[in-house]
Amino acid sequence: MTLSKEELEKRVAVLERKAEREKKARNLAENQLEKYSLDIYEANQSLKSALASATQKQSELAFLAQTSSNVASEVSLGEMISNIVALTGTLCSACCGAYITSEHGKEVKGKSADVWHLDVSWQANDEFRKAIHSTLPIAESKVLDTWAILDLGANCVEKHTEFTSLFYTNFALSGEKIGWLVFLTKTKVFEPELLSVLNTSREHVLSGIRRRLTDVRILKRNVQLQDSLNKLEKARRQLIQSEKMASLGQLAAGVAHEINNPIAFIRSNMEVLNDYLADFKLFHKELKSTLDKNETLDAALFESISQSMDLTYIEEDSKDILQSNLEGLERVKGIVDNLKGFSHAGDETLVEMSLDACISAALKIAGNLFKYEHKIDNKMSNACPKILGNLGQLQQVFVNLFVNAAQAMETAGQLTIDYSENEKRVVIHIKDTGCGMDEETLKQLFTPFFTTKPVGEGTGLGLSVSYAILEAHGAEVVVDSELNVGTTFNLSFAIAEQ
Amino acid sequence: MKGIVFVKFNEFIEELWGDDFWDTLLNEAELPSEGIYTSVGTYDDQELFTLIQLVVEKKGISSKDAQFAFGKWVFKELYNVAPAGAHDFKDVFEFLHAVQNFIHVEVKKLNPDALLPEFEFLSETANTLSFNYLSPRKLCFFCEGIVHGLAEHTGQQVTVSQPECEHEGDSRCVLEVVKI
């Protein structure tokens, strides 16, 4: 194919333009590639800085998490502060750090003067201490609400010329005390983010310190409370004993009468015995004079003298009288023994005991309050199950109930003591046919110092003390009472396990 | 519009009518880019429309046919430069579904600012697939051509019709592809 010159020139022009476009396109593409390269480089750079910031964030978060868990843990105040110093110092790449406390503008010497170091942990560092003293405004006693940086300047710690700043915070402790966290660092200015992290941790630490100080206060208060409780317990025991002695006072007249009776008949018996002794002396004298006169003693004569003096009867009667005296003395001894047992304060331990024996002993003490017109029907028996109790204390309860019953039945009546039992409990029923109680009285039955008795007769503490004793025995009390019919106290005790 | 389309359109025109014709088009079109296209650049959509309009005028064919022909031709070209994963599809319908979920995702990785058409699938049976073609460029005929190019590549016989078309006064373009 041959082309004319004109056609050729035209063709060349087309190709030249095409080549020109291709060249320009290549330039464009190369520029675009350069731009892409730049974009990629910049993207890389921003990724790197994002990674660095994420790493920093991560370490800050780890720091906050460790601070929090340290604060929330049960470690002591001192240990917590030491951990916080190490954590904070590590986060800020501080050279060293310490915790000190001050009071009235002066440092209070702590247990340890050691300083935390980034590389070698805790050890003494006098230089750092000196720098703290000459730079920190301890004397001002001003409490900050954030962290602050101080330039060490001339006070620079010589060994670490690149560490030229102190950064610190402080907070109020109990009383006038102020706690200071101080670190030696290169940092001249805080990054806002780091400062915010440090402030967050500062709040955590503050709450941890407050909690621990409160714990100490609570502990002190607890000790005081325990002390008060002990005093109260002592007072309670004294009260029980006082009430017991008071009721003993009430019983004294009756008891005296009870003792007086046997003593009276013993005395009259002794008089009779005295007469009998005189008779025997006389008999002896008669025998002696007869023997002196006759030098012999025949049986008929002995018999006649003996009969004239009624010696056989005297002998028989003396035996009876002695027996009666012994019984009388036994009675007195019994009463005195019971009184002794009753008035004895004793301990409060619970042991296996018989309610039957306890009630019998109580009846012996209080029984004399009941007169001939009163009938006492004690249906208790050996078969009554044993319980865990304190004999002395329960005796006090029963005496108190019997005294009340006697006073409720002024002229005549019947006291019935009985028991019933179910699987796990035994219930003692103490029933009188006395004046009974109205609802008002029933309501206040166990209220201390409430009494229906005239002044001088009752303390108003009897039943409230009895109730306290029964409560300590885990006993339940149910009172049924009807005015002018009578009252029944039902005391339910847990049966002792065999 | 991405430069690759312009570069391929250039190749397409030169292949059909020679570089003289392309030179003539550029002379008359007076484009802002002066026809200096690279596949890494981005150019005004209007430049493509201007060039197509000139072809239509000079060769006496309809815009629809021009778009269709270019679409059918360009499929294999684009397919060859597509990422490897795009080569796993053996069926027209399967490929059309993958356009949005796979191919456009890959395109976006390289050209985050690329404006891509969206397909909204309306119904599908074993042999018929209809979808709504959504693009502000309204190149639905170009799209028809591409589907044909795709069928040629997979070795399937299809017809592509538009029951609804914005160029016919409808509110949207719906393409219906039927396997024969």
A310-337 average pLDDT score: 87
pLDDT for the residue numbered A255: 76
pLDDT in tens, A30-41: 998 899 899 999
Rounded distance, CA A374 to CA A390, Å? 29
- Report the mean per-residue pLDDT for chain A: 85
**Mean pLDDT of all residues in A444-459:** 70
> Is A15 touching B (CB cutoff 8 A)?
yes
Say whether residue A17 is in contact with chain B using an 8 A CB cutoff: yes
The answer to whether the Cβ–Cβ distance between A21 and B19 falls below 8 Å is no
- The mean pLDDT value for A210-215 works out to 87
What are A402-444's pLDDT values in tens digits?
A: 988 888 888 888 999 999 988 889 999 999 998 888 888 887 7
Interface touch A18/B19, C-beta < 8 Å = yes
The pLDDT of residue A345 is 64
Task: Express each pLDDT in A160-171 by its tens digit.
Answer: 566 778 889 998
Over range A141-150, report the average pLDDT: 86
Report the gap between the CA of B20 and the closest CA in chain A (Å): 6
Q: Do A26 and B38 touch (CB under 8 A)?
A: yes
Give me Rg for the CA atoms of chain A.
52
pLDDT grade for A158, boundaries at 50, 70 and 90: low
Continuous segment of H or E residues that includes residue A108: strand A106-108
CA A439 – CA A98 distance, rounded (Å): 73
Residue-wise pLDDT tens digits, A246-283:
777 767 776 787 788 889 889 988 999 999 999 999 98
- Please write down the long-range contacts of A154-157, taking CB distance under 8 Å and 24 or more positions apart: A155/A130, A155/A131, A156/A131, A157/A95, A157/A127, A157/A128, A157/A131, A157/A184
CB contact under 8 A, A28 and B34: no
Give the model's pLDDT for residue A155.
Answer: 57
CB within 8 Å: B36 and A25: yes
- Is the pLDDT at A378 greater than 80, yes or no? yes
CA distance A366 to A342: 11
Spatial separation of the C-alpha atoms in residues A122 and A120, rounded to whole Å: 7
State the Cα–Cα distance between residues B148 and B92, nearest whole angstrom.
Answer: 9
Higher per-residue pLDDT: A488 or A454:
A488
> What does the pLDDT read at residue A301?
80
Q: How many CB pairs under 8 A join A and B?
A: 32
Most confident residue range from A123-137, A285-299, A414-428: A414-428
Rounded Cα–Cα distance for residues B132 and B123 (Å):
10
CA distance readout (Å), B93 to B67, B89, B129: 22, 9, 7
Average pLDDT over residues A197-201: 91
Helix boundaries (H) for A117-191 = 126-135
Residue among A14, A26, A36 minimizing CB distance to B19: A14
Closest CA to A165 of A156, A174, A175, A173: A156
Predicted model pTM: 0.49
Written as six digits, the tokens of A265 are: 């008949």
Q: Tokens for A217, please give them.
A: 């206060």
What are the pLDDT digits (tens) for B141-163? Answer: 999 999 999 999 999 999 999 99
Residues 19-48, chain A, touching B (beta carbon < 8 A): 21, 24-26, 28-29, 32-33, 36
- Which residue of A7, A11, A17 to mutate against B (max B Cβ within 10 Å)? A17
